Structure 1
């Protein structure tokens, strides 16, 4: 599930900021939050060839979106101007928990 485009980034936004903004447009269909603020992105690296390597997890190993959500993240990142490729690796260690969520995400879900 993809959300509408947020407010535009400043003209001097770094490539990493642009990638994060793209990831923030991908939402977990079961929870009304984007995967970045939900804390599902564990690592993001951009090499000199502008290839992005992402390690992400899901809220549970049996998550029904395991087959589609990583692909949606990769597609969103590949759409960023200047990015040549994106690969998403699904990892389970450390296990996801609510502490990984942003404060904004916790507020949205009423966890504060």
Structure 2
């Protein structure tokens, strides 16, 4: 059996797909994430006070990738948000888990100020705002 496995060859297309899905860490730095993938990673970050993800809350103002670095401009629901440091750290970690992201830089901005108008319909439903 070992001899058979040693001689087994996959086509380049199958090999690439297998590596992408089974071992994405091997591709670190080879392909940039799309904006949707970056936002999906940030959706893992939940505001601990409201229990809604930061993307649907409308806290993300801008996200862009430059090589292996992702730059994010985001805000908080209030300047004195006690969960701010936690949300920023979790955002950084969520992005840096992506295979092609070496570093995430989070810039906290307070202008324009956040308002509930920035929330998605999903966030409104979760919070019972109609």
Q: Shorter-normalised TM-score: what interval?
A: 0.7 to 0.9
Normalised by the length of structure 2, the TM-score is 0.72
**2:101, 2:35 → 1: CA distance?**
10
Q: Deviations over 1:14-50 (max 9, x none)?
A: 5322211110011000001000101000111111x13
Q: Deviations over 1:41-62 (max 9, x none)?
A: 0111111x13110011110111
- The structure that has the greater radius of gyration is 2
Give runs of aligned pairs for residues 1-112 of structure 1, distance below 5 A. Answer: 15-47=34-66, 49-112=67-130
Normalised by the length of structure 1, the TM-score is 0.82
Q: Which runs of 5+ in 2 are unaligned?
A: 1-20, 22-32
Q: Which runs of 5+ in 1 are unaligned?
A: 1-10
Aligned residues, how many?
A: 99
**Residue aligning to 1:8:** none
Higher helix fraction (1 or 2): 2
